[in-house]
Structure 1
Amino acid sequence: MLEHEYAVAVEQRQEQWWSIFRGTNGLRTTIAFWPGLAQQCIGLKLFRTFGTYFFQQAGVSQPFTVKCITLSIQIATVLVNIVLVDNFGRRPLACWAVTISWVACCVVGVLGVTPDNQAKTYVFVLVACFWNIGMMTCGTVATTFNGEISSQLLRPYTAAFAVGITCVLGVIMDVFVLYMVNANQWNWGLKTSWFYAGIGFPAMVGMWLLIPESKGRSTAELDELFERKIKPWRFSQAETATERLVKSKE
């Protein structure tokens, strides 16, 4: 299989590392990094990295306790996803996870413009829990795309680029979040979620339009589906040459 890919790559002059940005390989590279990018755009740094600080600035009386609760939810979500990812597939889990987190950002943003009271704090913590479920589900599935979506020949380059671009965006968010939630800087408080709702919307739409279903597909089948330019949302229904061959021998 790898020899065939290399022969085709040489024929099409796409055997060099920069081929990850060209043609079908460019699409596969975009798919590989999109879930990680979507994580950053729906508030990964806000709710996870700076979660305790954000909860404190938002007026939660016991921010560290809430952070421990959300971390426990993250661990449980990862364990559950180990089972779900091969039973329900990558695409539905990833797409719905980002959608849930985006909705959570919108709800937190609404809370940011409502009067402060105890009920508001309870709702905020509850929504933060749902956001963490979505974020960790997306993160779990994102890891599978790094190893499955790219061609075998370009996999090291595609995976490295996907992780690298996510890290760069993460560093940028590290800086912005501190300004957004700091009472001595921009002091946005809960309204910071509107920022993530804004940049998270195109990321969420991109998930539904870009992310294919790779569950149960071999490398050869994925290569065929990409070469045939099958729409990502139709990958699970498309029949491949391998499947036809198996049926013919039954």
Structure 2
Amino acid sequence: MAGISSGLGIRRGEPADPEAGVPHSVTPYNVEVAEETERHEREMTFRDAMKADKRLIWHSLGFSGTIVMEGYGYALITYLFSFYTFNEKYGVVLPGKFVDGKPVYELEYIWKALLPLVAQFGSLIGIMITAPVTRRLGYKRTTQLMLVCSAAFVCMPFFASSVQVLLMGFLIQGIPWGVYQVVSPAYASEVASLQLRPILTTWNNLCWVIGQLIASAILKGFEKYPGDMSFRIPFAFQWVFLSMLMIVISFAPESPYWHLQRQRIPEARATIRKLVRHGSADTAERKLALMQHTMHQESKKEGAAAEAASSWKRFTGMFKGVDARRTEIACMAWLIQSMCGSSIIPWAPKLFESAGLAASQALSVNIALPAAGIMGTVASWWLMRIWGRRQIYFWGQLVMGVFLIGVGLASLAPDNISGWIAGGILTVYTAIYDLTIGPVCYSIVSEIPSIRRRAATLSAARGTYLIAGLVNHFLTPKMVGMDESSWKWGAKTGFLYAGMCVLGAVYTWYRIPETTGLSARALDILFQHKISAREFNNDKAAAVEAADREKAAAEAGSRTSDVSVMVHEIRTTDKA
């Protein structure tokens, strides 16, 4: 590989790496090769990328499988609230209410609010520990550790004899779920090539929906199963999924960027060779040069070289300078996803019941929601190639707002059809959500952060999402519940979230930039020069970079001229 390691344009000095806390060694790489590789990735067709990166795709999908576990676990919590044997075990009898001659049980509001609430709180704990743990262990070993923890933590809800034990079980289960939420999109964004990045990042949303679908189908299958095992066996299914994931993750390589931040060039090279097509040593070297060039571009941001290596400085760095804007956008993008009405989806069975359906009918209709979500997510891959992230995010919120108004209006229909109308509209809403906001959010928040701050920024963004989720999980049972302490809004809840969609669309228009077709290095250039969100594109990045080079050349020429004048004056003085 003489062509890679020699020639013009070799960078021989790298700045200190504040994220890893160690200085870069002298690491040469060919700038021309790096930029040529970047152009090649941008010009590749999707089919060519699929052929070249098959191994990369499979490894990324393995990490994304952890999101299936998270989606399954969260859905199981709220879906069980419409499960008769679960309510019989942990709930109280509703006076004077009978179905088929049997008394009706209902979990008290406080527990319906607390059970998903503590799972979200556990996820917040997981998110807070993700950045320091992944910085020390890397994405692969962190995920393996969390899979072991998940397998151990499932025991508590499976054997729970009381709702209090169940509460503690969901709390500790949430910790690894929080780690999965950060690691999976971060890994996909770092290993994916430009053409595959939108699919591999949005695949995480599809995994979430698949988890919901599996939970819905398993609960429906065990609905008539007698005794406590009807709701305990769905918990046990997690052990099967965890075993499969542990095997898959053991074959996956670490992210090359994690090695590069520690100047482990041989390890980064070996990792890239595991990601590219077998025998493509030249491709691996070119990708390595591009990654080094991207790291060099990020190091140009103001204050990077002087930043101290303490843990606190590394954490607060994402709220300063160039990274502050990137952190804000990532946090708001996930906040919008949480507050656009998506919190209704896990509570759909209770909403359908409050709108007039029986519990069994509500569970049957509920299966249509994740099925619609899967179709929407797959279709979003095609839509992103036509419209891009920004346009989909903006128009998706407006269309969802219209359908949420429809959900609210369904409450005005007679009781015997209100639930079916709300169910039909909410199914279409779910398909639109998973066509637009749901998957595209994963792509935006994965691409927006800088590589050095990716784990920390994603942790802050996902933490924002979960804090909003805590509010949703506290209020949603109040809005859609049927007991005396609930507000009994039912389908009228759609009106509130329709207004939230409008506010989110306004923010999107002014602050969220287009990332389609932009490499990590191009994004660095645009953010470093504070380009408006509506002007993000490759042409603007190229123009800004060209202007920078002209300015640097002019300054270098000026310094050379000044030195020549000084030398001339010294010589004149000596002669005198």
Whether the 8 Å contact between 1:35 and 1:94 is mirrored in structure 2 is: no
Residue 153 of structure 1: SS of its match in structure 2? coil
Distance in 2, Cα, partners of 1:227 & 1:244: 11
Q: Which structure 2 residues correspond to residues 1-250 of structure 1 after superposition, within 5 A?
A: 1-8=294-301, 9-11=303-305, 13=307, 16-46=314-344, 48-60=345-357, 62-112=361-411, 114-116=412-414, 120-121=418-419, 123-136=421-434, 137-184=436-483, 185-236=486-537, 238-241=539-542
Distance in 2, Cα, partners of 1:204 & 1:242: 29
Whether the 8 Å contact between 2:355 and 2:415 is mirrored in structure 1 is: no
Whether the 8 Å contact between 1:181 and 1:188 is mirrored in structure 2 is: yes
AA at the equivalent of 1:57: S
Larger Rg: 2
> Alpha-carbon deviation of 1:144?
1.1
Query: CA 1:190 to 1:33, structure 2 compared with 1: closer, same or farther past 3 Å?
Result: same
CA RMSD of aligned residues (A): 2.6
Whether the 8 Å contact between 2:376 and 2:433 is mirrored in structure 1 is: no
> Alpha-carbon deviation of 1:123?
4.1
* Cα deviation digits, residues 40-68 of structure 1 (max 9, x gap): 2122121x111111111112453222211
Distance in 1, Cα, partners of 2:407 & 2:465: 24
Whether the 8 Å contact between 1:73 and 1:133 is mirrored in structure 2 is: yes
TM-score normalised by the chain length of structure 1: 0.85
Distance in 1, Cα, partners of 2:505 & 2:349: 25
Q: Mean alpha-carbon deviation: is it higher for 224-233 or for 120-129?
A: 120-129
Whether the 8 Å contact between 1:221 and 1:242 is mirrored in structure 2 is: no
TM-score normalised by the chain length of structure 2: 0.39
Aligned length: 243
- Alignment partner, residue 568 of structure 2: none
> Alpha-carbon deviation of 1:162?
0.9
- Alignment partner, residue 248 of structure 1: none
Residue 304 of structure 2: SS of its match in structure 1? helix
Structure 2 spans left out of the alignment, 5+ residues: 1-293, 547-576
AA at the equivalent of 2:353: Q
Whether the 8 Å contact between 1:36 and 1:139 is mirrored in structure 2 is: no
Query: CA 1:4 to 1:39, structure 2 compared with 1: closer, same or farther past 3 Å?
Result: closer
Whether the 8 Å contact between 2:513 and 2:536 is mirrored in structure 1 is: yes
Q: Percent identity?
A: 25
Structure 1 spans left out of the alignment, 5+ residues: 246-250
Whether the 8 Å contact between 1:101 and 1:130 is mirrored in structure 2 is: no
* Cα deviation digits, residues 78-105 of structure 1 (max 9, x gap): 1122333234311122222222222222
Distance in 1, Cα, partners of 2:364 & 2:482: 21
- Alignment partner, residue 147 of structure 2: none
Whether the 8 Å contact between 1:35 and 1:142 is mirrored in structure 2 is: yes
AA at the equivalent of 2:437: C
* Cα deviation digits, residues 220-247 of structure 1 (max 9, x gap): 21122222322212324852227987xx
